[in-house]
Amino acid sequence: QPFFAWIAPPAAHDPTMAAPQHAEMLPDAKAPRVPSYGASPEGKHWEVRFASMDMGEGTDASRYGDLLYRRRLLTLLSVDDMLGDLVDTLDGMGELDNTFLVFASDNGYHIGTFGLLKDKRQLYETDIRVPAYVRGPGVGLP
């Protein structure tokens, strides 16, 4: 019988609490240092200039940004576990090759872009480029 399931885990939204089995993982994870990371907000909208802070390496802001990034990643490890269980279950049922899996995110996120510690509401690449993946029968590379 056909079925539809919508699974929407809250990770990586706040509160970012890692599962106990993941809490000590990824100790060296750092927010990506994209070209706009810590770049001058000069010439940007006044709200960006007003909220901008020094994101230089070793500053409190950069350390906090790295902590935020790591905590978000740790919550996503549980999502990865859940998806692995889902795929294994579908495979065990003999339904995996007859099932479409569609993955998407609601928004991107930035840490350190033009000195903005964290946000998702600006039209920067890290905010608007969200993952979207489809796996299923007949889906493949052209």
Using one digit for the tens of pLDDT, what is the confidence trace for 18-67? 999 999 999 999 999 999 999 999 999 998 999 999 999 999 999 999 99
With contact defined as beta carbons under 8 Å apart, do 53 and 117 qualify?
yes
Q: Which domain covers residue 95, as residue numbers?
A: 31-135
CA distance 37 to 62: 10
Q: Is the residue at 49 inside a domain? A: yes
CA distance 127 to 39: 16
Instruction: Spell 25-41 as b/e; 16+ CB within 10 A means b.
Output: eeeeebbeeeebbbeeb
pLDDT digits (tens, 9 = 90+) for 73-109: 999 999 999 999 999 999 999 999 999 999 998 888 8
Q: Is the residue at 9 inside a domain? A: no
Q: What's the pTM value of the predicted model, to 2 decimals?
A: 0.85
Q: Is the residue at 11 inside a domain? A: no
Q: In total, how many domains does the chain have?
A: 1
Residue 74's Cβ-count burial label (10 Å; 0-12, 13-18, 19+) is buried
